[in-house]
Amino acid sequence: MPRLIISERGKEGERVHECLEPRITIGRNDDNIIRLLSPGISRHHIEVVAQGDRFLLVDLGSGNGTLLNGRKIASKEKHLLRHSDMITIDTYDLRFTTTAHAEAALVEEEVTESDVLEVKLLKTVLAALDRETVPSLEVLNGSEEGKRIHLTDDIQELIIGRDPECSFPIHEHVVSRQHAKVAKRWGGIIVRDLDSKNGTFLNNRRIVEEYLHDGDRIAFGTIVLMFRNPQEINLAQLEAEPLKRMPLQVRPEEIPLVETTANPLEEEAEEKLEVEEEPSDAVSDWEKVERNVGPQEYPEPRPLPKTFGSMTPTEIGMIGLGSLVLVFAVITLINLLMS
């Protein structure tokens, strides 16, 4: 069953309201279902409306506004409430809780006390793991010591100050109404002083704007906040512990033996190579003969036939005359045959 757990900061104790009504109004007037007596709360401040299995939060145009998980919501807009959502109005915190998701997981099963405890424990562990992976700010001293906000993905920047409308209000007189801003930038998360009266100090040094790192202390007057960034811690651990590579060591006895099958063609080729490499006796004897025989006499080469350019004029004339006689004889023979 959904419920609202109501507590007032600076006071002990809390009260629980079961969300049985379809519309729950909260404010300072007597006609509200939940009446909260505080001058900073409007007569009809907010309402929680049931729509089937869902519950919606609506700000009714309050004067000082309403925060949902540290972020101010617009007037008249509907916001879906989820398990463990925190509603803040003035000095009151209203936590919305529901076990519907746990009951849905146990449909058609016998629910025992141990099952419920296991589900609650699992939810607690998962929620803690989720919170421990995002940056956060925590108040270390003062009346709001222990107050913390996680910079989840949906929070790009938040305003810190005494004004209740701030994203992260700190009700201390040394804190200005809008003292500083924490915002996400491309290079990390920064804190910027908003012209506060007492200034903003980062690790005992007054600053205007600086990047935040894990473990930094931000001081607004006498109030100190601690910045935590688990992602930066994990990155530092990875950089501090380089990857260690062990050399591969293989003992000779661990190397498997490979058996090969003999190829007849390869064996025959190897035998031929071995035969060719061994010099025969005939070759050796011939080499001995060449060493013992002296210089030999070789016949002179035959002269090449003369060409036209190498002939004498007489030789050329004789060849020309012979050619004319041959032509005359051929012509005479042809005439005789034709007659």
Do 189 and 168 contact (CB within 8 A), yes or no?
Answer: no
Grouping H, G, I as helix, E, B as strand and the rest as coil, residue 225 is strand
Grouping H, G, I as helix, E, B as strand and the rest as coil, residue 150 is strand
> What pLDDT shows up at residue 256?
54
* Chain-centre distance for alpha carbon 158: 27
Grouping H, G, I as helix, E, B as strand and the rest as coil, residue 176 is coil
Tell me how far apart the alpha carbons of residues 212 and 227 are, in angstroms, rounded to a whole number: 7
Give the pLDDT confidence of 196-215 residue by residue, as tens digits: 999 999 999 999 999 999 99
Average pLDDT, the chain: 78
Q: For residue 24, what are the β-bridge partners? A: 48
Q: For residue 84, what are the β-bridge partners? A: none
**Which residues does 321 contact at the CB level (< 8 Å), separation at least 6?**
none
> What pLDDT shows up at residue 134?
85
Grouping H, G, I as helix, E, B as strand and the rest as coil, residue 28 is coil
What is the set of domains in the chain, with CATH numbers?
2-98 (2.60.200.20), 136-228 (2.60.200.20)
Task: Residue 84: name the closest of 106, 55, 107 by CA.
Answer: 55
CA angle 69, 166, 152 (to 5 degrees): 35
CA angle 27, 100, 154 (to 5 degrees): 65
Give the pLDDT confidence of 19-61 residue by residue, as tens digits: 889 999 999 999 999 999 888 999 999 999 998 889 999 999 9
Do 72 and 167 contact (CB within 8 A), yes or no?
Answer: yes
pLDDT at 194 over 60: yes
Tell me how far apart the alpha carbons of residues 161 and 223 are, in angstroms, rounded to a whole number: 11
